[in-house]
Amino acid sequence: MTLALRGEKLSRTFSSAAGDVHACVDIDIEVAAGELVVVRGASGAGKTTLLNLLGGLDAPTSGTVWIGDVEATALDEDALAALRRERLGFVFQSFGLIPILSAAENVELPLRIAKTPPAERDARVAEALKLVGLADHAAQRPTELSGGQQQRVGIARAIAVRPHVLIADEPTGQLDSRTAATVMDLIGDLVHSQGLAAIVSTHDPLLVQRADRVIELHDGRVTSVTSVTGRDAAGPAAATTDAPAPDAEEHDESHTPRTRAEAREQRRTDH
Number of domains into which the chain is organized: 1
Q: Is the pLDDT confidence value at 234 over 50?
A: no
159-179: per-residue pLDDT in tens? 999 999 999 998 888 888 888
Would you give the DSSP letter of residue 54?
Answer: H
Number of residues assigned to the chain: 271
83-128: per-residue pLDDT in tens? 999 999 999 888 889 999 999 999 999 999 989 999 999 999 999 9
CA distance 101 to 120: 19
Burial 45-78 (b: 16+ CB within 10 A, else e): bbbbbbbbbbbbbbebbebebbbbeeebbebeee
Q: What pLDDT score does 229 carry? A: 57
pLDDT average, residue stretch 33-53 = 93
238-257: per-residue pLDDT in tens? 333 333 333 333 334 334 44
Specify the CATH number for the domain of residue 243.
3.40.50.300
Question: Residue 208's domain spans which residues?
Answer: 3-270
pLDDT average, residue stretch 64-91 = 94
CA distance 222 to 233: 13
DSSP tally for the chain: helices H, then strands E: 8, 10
235 — pLDDT class (breaks 50, 70, 90):
very low
190-220: per-residue pLDDT in tens? 899 889 999 999 877 777 888 999 999 999 9
Q: Which helix (H) or strand (E) holds 29?
A: strand 19-32
Q: What pLDDT score does 267 carry? A: 46
Q: What is the pTM (predicted TM-score) of this model?
A: 0.80
